[in-house]
A and B are shown apart, each in its own frame.
Chain A
Amino acid sequence: MVLESTLRNIRLVGDGTLKIVERIGATVVFLGLTLTQSATSFRRFDLVIREIFYAGVQSLIIILVSGLFVGMVLGLQGHETLQNYGSEQSVGVLVALSLVRELGPVVAALLFASRAGSAITAEIGLMKATEQLSAMEMMAINPMARVVAPRFWGGVISMPLLAMLFSAMGIIGGFLVAVVLIGVDDGAFWSQMQAAVDFRHDIANGIIKSLVFGIAVSAIATFEGYEASPTAEGVSGATTRTVVSSSLAILALDLVLTAFMLKGWS
């Protein structure tokens, strides 16, 4: 009895693991398929521009406002702790490094996944549910090239831009709180920041991160939409899965990328 129930539980664990691995594999295969079907997106770039508008421009407000708030909070908290050590001028370094290296790419990607990724999934899923994708196939239009690839590239192009805007906005927020509100010295704030932030090691690596996150979120969002069961529950489930799995993917990829960037690629 006990043995049987233990075995069943172990089987459940195995089944769950296999399903997760299967899903990751299917997403990667789907990403490859999207890449092979991308030629149309670049021949008719207006398709991509449309998607940049829906994914990027419409995420601007949430990204800019959150960036400002995150920067302000960093400024306040950083100043609070640093003044114990008499080095409140370093608050600029703290705000800039944490934003450019980590928070900018990661938080912007999390917001992007919940704002734009879920919208992409819902849109493609609903297209599938209302049989628009099948109708396209009937007209000999490949939905991978016409629907999926432009949305994928729109997301990939938008993500680094949004992450940089998030970081820049956050640094302005930190500046407002630390210098304008609290009264940290203006010159020390910027000069210490410039001495500490390296273009190659901090800014370029942050952009690489956001590019990788953009690829991951866009691939997951389009995959979940395309594979959603064509019902109302199916689409809602797929939207939820997009947000959950992209958030997990972002955080896991961030750990791997950070480890490599700090320790070198060798």
Chain B
Amino acid sequence: MERSTLNLWVGIFVLLGFFAFLVLAFKVGNLSAGGSGQTYTLVANFDNIGQLKERAPVRSAGVLVGRVKSVRFDPIHYTAEVRMAIDTQFKFPKDTSASVLTSGILGEQYIGLEAGGDDQMLKDGDQIKLVQGAVVLERLIGQFLFNKAQDSSTAKGAQK
């Protein structure tokens, strides 16, 4: 085969491959919506994190602002220490509250941040004080049944 045709075909092939890479990176992946890529760390201690995993989303008002960096058991306070990597373009006030929420009924768990009204902003490595752990379904049902039982017993007591 002639040299120039060979080069042409290989050139087309390489360009096609590069184009496929761009499609994958920007159309399929999240490289375009990745934000600045720079993050700072916030720490929160929850009494229960449910099924929260590393790289779970951190959302504020439903919008993705960061991801969970690590989950660790804190042996001193007996809580789950969650470190979050938050995009540097989003700053949160000192009295921001964090809670473990679930998207949908069976969906993945994520951390919801609700901004407070403080003038001072959280800095890298700061601790979020106001936290709310995951709702455990078994405990919820147990509490519901317990309340029901109590209600019916008091109702019976009233009838007597």
- A interface list, Cβ under 8 A from B: 46, 49-50, 52-53, 56-57, 60, 96, 100, 158, 160-162, 164-165, 167-169, 171, 190, 193-195, 197-199, 201-203, 207
Contact = CB atoms under 8 A, between A and B. Distances in A.
- Majority SS of interface residues in chain A? helix
A168 B18 CA distance: 11
Contacts of A197: 28-30
Given A197-B28, A199-B30, A161 B17 contact: yes
Interface in B8-34: 9-10, 12-14, 16-21, 23-25, 27-31, 33-34
Given A57-B13, A168-B19, 13 more contacts: A52-B10, A53-B1, A57-B10, A100-B28, A164-B20, A167-B28, A168-B28, A171-B23, A194-B29, A197-B30, A198-B29, A199-B29, A207-B21
B30 A194 contact: yes
Contacts of A195: 30, 64
B6 interface: yes
Contacts of B7: 49
Interface residues of B, number: 27
B3 interface: yes
B31 A53 contact: no
B63 to A, nearest CB: 12
A189 to B, nearest CB: 11
Interface of B: 1, 3, 6-7, 9-10, 12-14, 16-21, 23-25, 27-31, 33-34, 55, 64
A161 B6 contact: no
Most buried by B among A52, A164, A195: A164
A102 B30 CA distance: 18
Nearest to B5: A53
A55 to B, nearest CB: 10
Given A49-B6, A164-B21, A198 B14 contact: no
Contacts of A160: 17
A146 to B, nearest CB: 17
Contacts of B6: 49-50, 53
Contacts of B21: 164, 207
A182 B9 CA distance: 36
Contacts of A202: 29
Contact of A161 (B20, B25, B33, B34): B20
A32 B11 CA distance: 29
A194 B13 contact: no
Contact of A168 (B3, B9, B10, B20): B20
Contacts of A167: 20, 24, 28
A84 B17 CA distance: 36
A188 to B, nearest CB: 14
B9 to A, nearest CB: 5
Contact of B33 (A46, A50, A162, A194): A194
Contacts of A161: 13-14, 16-18, 20
Contact of B20 (A46, A96, A165, A201): A165
Q: What 8 A-B pairs are tightest by C-beta distance, nearest first?
A: A161-B17, A168-B20, A164-B20, A199-B29, A199-B31, A165-B20, A57-B13, A197-B29
